[in-house]
A and B are shown apart, each in its own frame.
Chain A
Amino acid sequence: MDLPGPIHDFLLVFLGLGLILGGIGVVLLNNPIYSAFSLGLVLVSISLLYILSNSYFVAAAQLLIYVGAINVLIIFAVMFMNGSEYYKDFNLWTVGNGFTLLICTSIFGLLITTITDISWYGIIWTTRLNQIIEHDLISNSQQIGIHLSTDFFLPFEFISIILLAALIGAITVARQ
């Protein structure tokens, strides 16, 4: 998206903050309802991030499916099972938690050093040069549709079968 520089940077910082705080909230908040809503915050800011990187179709799909369906379903599930037991297990800090935290932060640090070491712009330049310049007449969503119905046709059909099976399975498991 072509925005003036300061607005773009401000939006990026804002969305990054929403993502970081929401992610912490999903894991650390005691009440699962709050963590479900902060999951919603994370999903919305990810979708706005997609809009910033010019992928409108994926952004709309993210909003429609993740926020509108999955997050609402999770909130329903949490409300359905909201017993009094949730308040028993807060602040149970065990050795395992500390160990997991240590491993996760160490691998995260390793990844950050790797990411900053690689010269991404060299890679981008070489791939840009290799690409054939095509006409820009086709819009993003049309491009995605063409790919889905030619190159990725078999996975597309499999996905639809998987969705149908999941739908029937969920109904049979949930109704008794």
Chain B
Amino acid sequence: MIIDTPEVQDINSFSRFEFLKETYGIIWTLIPIFTPVLGITIGVLVIVWLEREISAGIQQRIGPEYAGPLGVLQALADGSKLLFKENIFPARGETLLFSIGPSIAVISILVSYSVVPFSSHLVLVDLNIGVFLWIAISSIAPIGLLMSGYGSNNKYSFLGGLRAAAQSISYEIPLTLCVLSISLLSNSSSTVDIVEAQSKYGFWGWNLWRQPIGFIIFLISSLAECERLPFDLPEAEEELVAGYQTEYSGIKFGLFYVASYLNLLVSSLFVTVLYLGGWNISIPYIFVFDFFEINKTYGVFEPTISMFITLAKTYLFLFIPITTRWTLPRLRMDQLLNLGWKFLLPISLGNLLLTTSSQLFSL
């Protein structure tokens, strides 16, 4: 049987074309995953700088000034210092658990960024369980903290890990109930739909005005989830040296540091999405596109503006957690648990009941 050589070449080139297509497919699924990671890292660096500057402002100091203009590069310098420090393992600890712990804490927070919408199409996945996925994934983090606390073979670390797990479990329930009442209000738990539901009346359409109790409870429990200062018992210096991160050094300590700021950023983003209207401009009767006289169909402009608005709201909101850090004293452990179980849980249940009944009557 004779086959013409051009035919064989055609078949070859066709199979190579298929292979190339497959490779391109894989690359095109990976690029949207890695671009946000880069952006999030930059966002964390910005938060670290912001926290240093605001703390300095509150305490009437100057703050970072030498690394770059206004000390912008200070966080980068700190990070590279941590990267080059020595990795110390505790002598009789469990090395495997000690190494896995920080990475679980970081990964579980990083995955929850996949449902945060920056614009109506600028979201990694628009699942119909959106917010619920964030709640579910953020409940993995205590396992990493327990791992690192146990693996350090140190009483302080162990106590810190147990405290962190107990705190994050008990404050997750009011958080979930608040999110549930929001998704009842917007008839969907997809993050994009929640933002769309707030877009009607500009500033007055925000969920903040329809859910004031929910907003306050969400604020308190997200502060507790991030282990920010009124609730930073797992790493209270006077009692537990540094909590579960006592034995860590080098980049593993850096991972815990990054994880706490990532958590802060993601809860601030979710406050923006759930309560502060997301990417909408939020000033009624002003339309950006009329203002700049730019055609709406022109692709790049709209997502950029939306992303800018979301980030601006997020970073403005971040001033509240940062200033509470230097204002409020730390709670005791029993006060913390009492606040969670005996105060926030009943109030958030009542809030859910109110929301449900108002939704039922408005049907």
Contacts and interface: CB of A to CB of B under 8 A. Distances in A.
A150 to B, nearest CB: 17
Interface stretch (B135-143, B195-203, B236-244): B135-143
Contacts of A24: none
A69 B97 contact: no
Contact of A63 (B97, B137, B146, B162): B137
A75 B169 CA distance: 13
B148 to A, nearest CB: 12
B163 to A, nearest CB: 12
A111 B127 CA distance: 36
B169 A56 contact: no
B26 A68 contact: no
A40 B143 contact: yes
A79 B22 CA distance: 48
Contacts of A67: 139-140, 143
Query: Contact size class for A?
Result: 20 to 34
Interface string B89-133: 000000001000000000000000000000000000001110011
A13 to B, nearest CB: 16
A19 interface: no
B139 A3 contact: no
A111 B144 CA distance: 37
Interface in B3-36: 22, 25-26, 29
B295 to A, nearest CB: 32
A159 interface: no
B139 A37 contact: no
A68 B142 contact: yes
A61 to B, nearest CB: 7
A4 B22 CA distance: 8
Contacts of B189: 141
Contact of A68 (B127, B139, B150): B139
B25 A68 contact: no
A4 B136 contact: no
A140 B127 CA distance: 10
Contacts of B129: 56-57, 60, 141
A139 B128 contact: yes
A56 B127 contact: yes
A37 B147 contact: yes
A90 interface: no
Contacts of B232: none
A7 B172 CA distance: 33
Contacts of A139: 128
Given A7-B29, A141-B129, A60 B143 contact: no
A4 B29 contact: yes
Interface in B34-84: none
Interface string A65-77: 0011101100110
B276 interface: no
B136 A141 contact: no
B165 interface: yes
Nearest to A10: B26
Given A72-B169, A141-B189, 18 more contacts: A3-B29, A7-B26, A7-B29, A33-B150, A40-B143, A57-B129, A57-B132, A59-B136, A63-B136, A63-B139, A64-B132, A67-B140, A68-B140, A68-B142, A69-B169, A79-B162, A139-B128, A141-B132
Interface of A: 3-7, 33, 37, 40, 44, 56-57, 59-61, 63-64, 67-69, 71-72, 75-76, 79, 139-142
30 contacts: A4-B25, A7-B26, A37-B97, A40-B143, A44-B140, A56-B127, A56-B128, A56-B129, A56-B133, A59-B136, A60-B133, A60-B135, A63-B140, A64-B132, A64-B135, A67-B140, A68-B136, A68-B142, A68-B169, A69-B169, A71-B143, A72-B143, A72-B165, A76-B165, A79-B146, A139-B128, A141-B128, A141-B129, A141-B132, A142-B128
